[in-house]
Structure 1
Amino acid sequence: MQRTVTLPEGFFLGAAASAWQTEGWVGKKDNQDSYMDLWYKKHTTAWHSGYGPTVATDFYERYQEDVDLMKAIGLQSYRTSLNWSRFLTDYENVVVDEEYASYFDRMLDACIAAGVEPMVCLEHYELPAELFEKYGGWASKHVVDLYVKYAEAAFQRFGKKVKYWFAFNEPIVVQTRVYLDALRWPFERDTDKWMAWNYNKALATNRAMKVYKEGGYRIEGGKFGTIINVEMAYPRSKCAFDQEAADMYDLFYNKVFLDPAIKGEFPKELFAILEQYGVRVDRTEEELRDIRENTMDWIGLNLYHPNRVKGRETAINPKAPFHPNFFYEEWQMPGRRMNPHRGWEIGPEIIYDMGLRMRDEYGNIDWFVSESGMGVENEGRYRDESGTIQDDYRIDFIKEHIDCAVKAANAGSNCKGYMLWAFTDNVSPQNAFKNRYGLVEIDLEHNRDRHLKKSAAFYQQTIETKQFTLEDTTGEYK
């Protein structure tokens, strides 16, 4: 049975990327590596087929091609990041690299001329490598101060062109992979550092908002926010044992950033639990006041897949450093739909469910889906005789997820739009170009040439008509 999904008035459709995953910066300048560049150099073999951020999609040189494609599709907004490590040549004294800043100016101008609203994130894993090695990155309060100075320099340089700014993209990811799970270089287990990064990034978020407000950088209609990768955690059952597991997962991976950004405070139980397990969080009343008084205008939520947990049924090694999984174990729901390439469950209902949480738990703040997408390996096998990748699986994915965003909006949640990850295929941590996400193919065998996929035509039509038809097999989300 088919039905028509109509986008609400003012609901925008866009696409996202980041600086480090697209730009490339080969041979431009020394000593401007980000943490991601440093990781790639230190552990290149961890990256699929050796592809990394050095060339990426070569967006730095070819941004006009991509903007022309954005215009052809009718893309309403494009989110990328300003690469902190490249924007400045001196992080202590906030000296701007004019070559990089000039490129970014031209890129913004090209987007605006094409009718594409640029959205700029101040940090998408691009912590300068120098600050990581010298100060321990976000474990340092000094790095918080340097970030705020960097943010102000960005506002001063681009504030007349950029309406929508974001403090971070996925602020919990790097430290979770490095210090909590030891999955990325330098493979260190240290829960104190993990929580220090969490707290200091939350502090930096609200202090950047303070500078944005007090410095008069808000242009007409301008907003400042942050982008959080919320992980909807569903309990195995309704029993209290499983529900508590889901609540604890939510506390440590979602509320740790949602609450200070939106409510201006950390959940009271967070610090109490951490202290119970000997995890120290260095905080002052002045810092907590800045967090309280400088909450976000709106929030971007990255929503990819459901997480499912159950109460922990196996013992924890008493020598293990504290980890949130002391309270839960992962659970795989029988019969779940999967994206076998990425290993993620497909569950568009996460968008609707999170929308209701924004409505009911977070003051119905304005929000939008800042990332949602489907990574697929070996997409070339779906190429037709004309050379176009027939990615109907991606079209179906997008339809179902936009549908849930629209349902959330129709249920009274202030959902303002949907942004696909990603506009083009791009480099991802370790996976590099293995899983492709883009509306636009990056042809690695032919000079990184760009080719529109079938999904690009669908996106274009949806933007033009503000509706699409959906094969309704999921039923209504209650």
Structure 2
Amino acid sequence: MKIKKDFLWGGSIAAHQCEGAYNEGNKGLALMDMVTVGGPKTSREIHKSLSSTVRYPSHQGIDFYHRYQNDVALFAEMGFKALRLSIDWSRIYPNGDEQEPNQEGLRFYHHIIDELKKYNIEPIITLYHFEMPVHLVKEYGSWANRKVIDFYLKYCRTMFEAFKDKVKYWVTFNEMNHIDPQTEASDIFTYIIAGLKYSELENKSQTLATIGYNMTLASCLAVKLGHEINKDSKIGCVFGIEPVYPIDCNPTNVLNAYKQMDRDFYQIDAMCNGEFPKYKLEEYQDRDITISVSKQDRLAFSEGKIDFIGMNYYASSVAEYEGADKRENALFGGLQNPYLVSTKWGWTIDPIGLRYLLNYTYRKYGLPMMVTENGLGAIDEITPDGEIHDDY
């Protein structure tokens, strides 16, 4: 296989996972600042207020905020040609609804991007990677409130204008597709995406559908805005999708597997085909879910098509079926595949699944594809000398 010269080989990080310094530089509290540490058998907890006796991983991260120069030098040593990183919304607008951006936050990201450019590493900027200011959730109800779209677009405009001469590739959202009224969501997934606990929602299906619609609309509006500010920008969106296999060749099970996999594509359909899909609106109508698509919304979907599709891939799954035994659930629902080995985190190791996902998606839309996350979940142990030996 020949790799083109402009192929972007690199890595991916998120602000809440790496920066630390959660209370420095006039940063506000963001969603992940309230989430505790977890493990393979320990669920992460979501707190309404911070405790001094609990560890919150985002508070320290890997101290990228202070060590980014050394870290970027290591990226370059690895041969990276690109680095996908997120900007923490709460560093730019600490509460999310301020009139003016936080200049200290802007300077920090200017320094990082300049450092990447020094090593000829292409920055790929994610605008929303689970880093919404907590204030927007408490005061406005998060993405269930259309007013939050306006705050998001103001933040996007600030970013597009500040870095229009430095950044070519942008990502509007990371993995918003995990919110869907067809499935029973976990508290952690609805929280990291929208700052709300699934178990606390009064009208779960309606709220999830509204959030999914508003975030999809926000992405299209952001794409249009970014192209207006810099017509040469390439703006995409990132999705986390598991390929889903049928348990056998029973036509019912094959169709069921197709439906379980395809339900995660409605937002990509909206962003690529120029309209919010009619099949989704009909599904909502059948379930007494009300979504109002205005004339302005329809225009936004038609004018805000993405330039590329980002895919986060970690595992595949088997579709649920009638008579299934109680096997352990897969990462995003579905069942574990008996033909595949799993990591200690319960994620199946399936390189063919990535090929299947990319072929399926490319032939559906014909857009450039970017594998934005991919890897192996393991339990790393720190040796007495402070190192991690992960030869495996």
In the superposition, the TM-score normalised over structure 2's length comes to: 0.84
1:251 aligns with 2:267: no
Structure 1 position 243, deviation (Å):
2.3
How many aligned residue pairs are there?
366
1:18 equivalent to 2:14? Answer yes
Give matches, 1:285-434, under 5 Å: 285-313=295-323, 330-340=334-344, 342-362=345-365, 364-380=366-382, 389-393=388-392
Rounded to whole Å, the distance in 2 between the matches of 1:238 and 1:175 is 27
Letter in 2 for 1:199: Y
The match for 2:185 among 163, 180, 185 is: 180
Answer whether contact 1:144 1:200 (CA < 8 A) is retained: yes
Q: For 2:184 and 2:102, how far apart are their aligned partners in 1?
A: 31
Query: 1:227: Cα distance to partner?
Result: 0.9
Cα distance change, pair 365–31 in 1 and its aligned pair in 2 (3 A): closer
Structure 2: tracts of 5 or more residues without a match: 37-45
> Which is further off, 30-39 or 109-118?
30-39
* Alpha-carbon distance in structure 1 between the residues aligned to 2:49 and 2:2: 46
Structure 1: gaps (5+ residues): 315-324, 394-478
Among 133, 156, 164, which residue is 1:151 paired with?
156
1:111 paired residue number: 116
8 Å contact 1:159–1:218 — kept in the other structure?
A: no
Q: 1:95 to 1:358 in 2, by over 3 A?
A: same
What is the DSSP-based 3-state SS (H/G/I as helix, E as strand, rest coil) of the residue aligned with 2:360? Answer: helix
CA distance in 2, matches of 1:51, 1:38: 7
Instruction: Please list the CA deviations of residues 209-266 of structure 1 after superposition, one character each: whole Å capped at 9, or x if unmatched.
Output: 1111223x244xx3111111122111222323212322332233x2122111222233
SS where residue 24 of structure 1 aligns? Answer: coil
How much has 1:148 moved relative to structure 2?
Answer: 1.1
Q: 1:460 aligns to what?
A: none
Letter matched to residue 268 of structure 2? L
CA distance in 2, matches of 1:268, 1:251: 15
- Cα RMSD of the aligned pairs, angstroms, is 3.0
Compared with structure 1, are the counterparts of its residues 298 and 106 closer, same or farther at alpha carbon in structure 2 (3 Å cutoff)?
same
8 Å CA contact 2:25, 2:105 repeated in 1 = no
Q: Closer, same or farther in 2 for the Cα pair 1:29/1:108, shift >3 Å?
A: closer
Tell me if 1:242 matches 2:253.
Answer: yes
**Match of residue 37 from structure 1:** 33
Contact (CA 8 Å) 1:255, 1:267: kept in 2 or not?
no
2:39 matched residue in structure 1: none
Partners of 2:333 and 2:114 in 1: CA distance: 48
Structure 1: how far apart are the matches of 2:71 and 2:352? 31
Q: 2:218 aligns with which of 204, 208, 220?
A: 204
Name the CA distance, whole Å, in 2 between partners of 1:344 and 1:45.
31
Distance in 1, Cα, partners of 2:25 & 2:142: 21
- Secondary structure of the 2:85 match is strand
Structure 2 residue aligned with 1:226, among 213, 222, 237? 237
Quickly say closer, same or farther: Cα 1:388–1:32, change in 2 above 3 A.
closer
Q: Distance in 1 between matches of 2:6 and 2:13?
A: 22
Q: How big is each residue's C-alpha offset from its partner over 1:416-436, in whole Å with a ceiling of 9 and x where there is no partner?
A: xxxxxxxxxxxxxxxxxxxxx
Q: Say which is worse superposed, 267-276 or 9-18, in terms of deviation.
A: 267-276
Q: Which residue identity lines up with residue 191 of structure 1 in the other structure?
A: S
Distance in 2 separating the partners of 1:44 and 1:160: 39
Q: Supply the AA of the counterpart residue of 2:255.
A: E
Query: In structure 2, what residue type is equivalent to 1:280?
Result: T
For the 8 Å contact 2:242–2:316, the answer to whether it is kept is: yes
Higher relative contact order (CA 8 A, sep 6+): 1
C-alpha contact 1:303 1:351 (8 A) present in aligned 2: yes
Q: Which amino acid is the alignment partner of residue 243 of structure 2?
A: M
The reply to whether residue 81 of structure 1 matches residue 81 of structure 2 is no
For residues 135 and 67 of structure 2, the distance between their equivalents in structure 1, rounded to whole angstroms, comes to 28
Contact 1:305 1:347 in 2 (8 A): yes
| Aligned AA (2:369) | W
Aligned-residue sequence identity (percent) comes to: 26
Q: CA deviation at 1:329?
A: 7.7
